[in-house]
Chains A and B, each alone.
Chain A
Amino acid sequence: MLSVDIAARLGDFELEARFDAPATGVTALFGRSGAGKTSLTNILAGLERPVRGRIALGDRVLFDAAKRVNVPPDKRQIGYIFQEGRLFPHKTVRANLTYGMGRLAVDKRAARFDQVVDLLGIAPLLERRPKTLSGGEKQRVAIGRALLSGPDLLLMDEPLTALDAARRAEILPYVEHLRDVERLPIIWVSHDVDEIIRLADHLVLIDRGRVTANGPLIEIINGPDFRTATGRREDGTVIETTVAAKDAANALTHLRFAGGELRVPGVNVTLGQRLRVHIMAKDVAIALDPPRGISVLNCLAGRVVGISDPDGANVDVEIDVGVRLRARITRYSARSLSLQEGLPVHALIKAMALDRTGRDMALSL
């Protein structure tokens, strides 16, 4: 487990952070740009120094102001993957990869090197210079380099931000491999909602240099602090589902979740696979009676459990369908349906709204 409780002053910027991150899985550090995510990551890596507090990774104390402990970055065994890769321009890919291998046992180096090169598919790049690599290739080499330094924890500071959508899709499976197969704890810094839904299990929200929320991803991401952090456009509900059935004839997949079943257009998944689905509030409609003769595939019975104060023409309605689902409808509709707490309703989710894989849907675990 990583436990952090620090205060730092970096120029005019003040940072105060207190959170614990689990010893396994991906912990997302989420916040707008300028919120202090990178400063915090630099502090974890030992590149910046807090004014007070304590950082411990498992039973290793990395920083303790009271006891004057400050383990230098080269002794922390924390791998750091930067947004811009930061490959050494004067070294070949091979020399970049082996740079940090000193910490591995001598007799294990060769095998580990081959394994990592193989995993990331970078064998053809080994003799090349970083300058000649594409953005995705650079990031794969950077991941390999950090991995080969034998880290106890991996920090990934928006490693996908500089990449286009195709390159992102190229990198994500490797990160999932690190999480699931290498079982490396990862701190994933991001301001991209879909990335963290896809990857993270634990979420730390930062805003203006303060940690505003910290806990299991599903809990935090469906809570009020996350909405404050993202703004209204990204509002929605993230639910965890399992692939229950595949309807090949209609190219549909049935996803089971706490509130029943969702049908989504055929996604490339396997039975039993766990999948997180991000349902945008604006894609959920409300009906008082179960509608007939309608093209919308998903109709979930539930009960209104909350109605937000109106914001312009819209209100957000929370419906308990087994999980709490958020729907954004017009104020006018809410009034004409006489919505109030406790009222039984049906939530309608158009299957096509869930179709944009990688945008509204996250494949996970």
Chain B
Amino acid sequence: MSDLLSPLEAEALILSLRVALWCVVISLPIGIGTAWLLARKRFPGHLLLSAVVYAPLVVPPVVVGYLLLVLLGRRGVVGAWLYEAFGITVVFTWQGAAIASAIMGFPLMVRAIRLSLDAVDRRLEDAARTLGAGRWRVWLSITLPLTAPGILAGAVLAFARSLGEFGATITFVSNIPGETRTLPLALYSVLQQPGGDAPAMRLAILSLLLAIVAIAASELLARRMRKQLGV
């Protein structure tokens, strides 16, 4: 890899992958829960919740980054408490970058999972109940497997969105080499320097390849899944 990529490129690539992976890991359980709430439950505040969840789609990423800073910054509402109680801070760390991209990718993930939850035939769940399965067993053995393609799609979308995240990340965790400088941020950085055209092109191609591989892999997986599900 060191022959193919410059140290700067390798660093940005690995960081991007790590951030994207963690972005999916933290947002997936919450995403499934939120999608389920939105798809299956009627409660006061339903509309508000869906507005909040989908807001990052339309709000400028810089605004999201700024709000995260206000909330999670060392003097932020939650951030100050986190720092005092546990000595944890996420500002200017790759974990912070994962949080920022998780929030940006969240609407895409929730939307994909929700659509697939809506498509699950509720009558199959009823049938399972009459066969003696409690709510949890029905969820795990019927609803979740039938939603799996949507969950996969949601995870891939969030992953891909994270690879491309720029605005919220640079606002919230800045652009620190080796810590928060993911591929898009690295690309931005080299463009700021004289003679940065060639390295920028290499980084752009790298980003492109990464995205294509992720989408192709998910497509293959989805095909296998659909076959498994017999739908």
Contact = CB atoms under 8 A, between A and B. Distances in A.
Interface of A: 42, 45-47, 72-80, 82, 84, 86, 88-91, 99-100, 102-103, 129-131, 145-146, 149
Contact of A86 (B127, B146, B231): B127
Interface in B111-125: 121, 123-124
Contacts of A149: 130-132
Query: Most chain-B Cβ atoms within 10 A of its Cβ — which of A76, A79, A90?
Result: A90
B118 to A, nearest CB: 16
Nearest to B141: A99
A73 B126 contact: yes
Contacts of A75: 132
A78 B130 contact: yes
Contact of A74 (B121, B123, B132): B132
**Main DSSP-derived SS at the B contact region:** helix
Interface string B118-155: 00010110111111111000000110011000000000
Contacts of B26: none
B129 A72 contact: yes
B123 A86 contact: yes
Given A45-B130, A79-B130, A89-B230, 11 more contacts: A46-B130, A47-B126, A73-B130, A74-B130, A79-B131, A89-B229, A90-B228, A91-B230, A99-B128, A131-B231, A145-B131
A86 B133 contact: no
Contacts of A130: 230
A84 B124 CA distance: 10
* 4 nearest A-B residue pairs (beta carbon): A100-B131, A129-B230, A73-B129, A86-B127
Contacts of A47: 126, 129-130
Contacts of B230: 89-91, 129-131
A80 B229 CA distance: 23
A88 B231 contact: no
A91 B141 CA distance: 10
Contacts of A145: 131
Nearest to B127: A86
Interface string B186-213: 0000000000000000000000000000
A79 B128 CA distance: 10
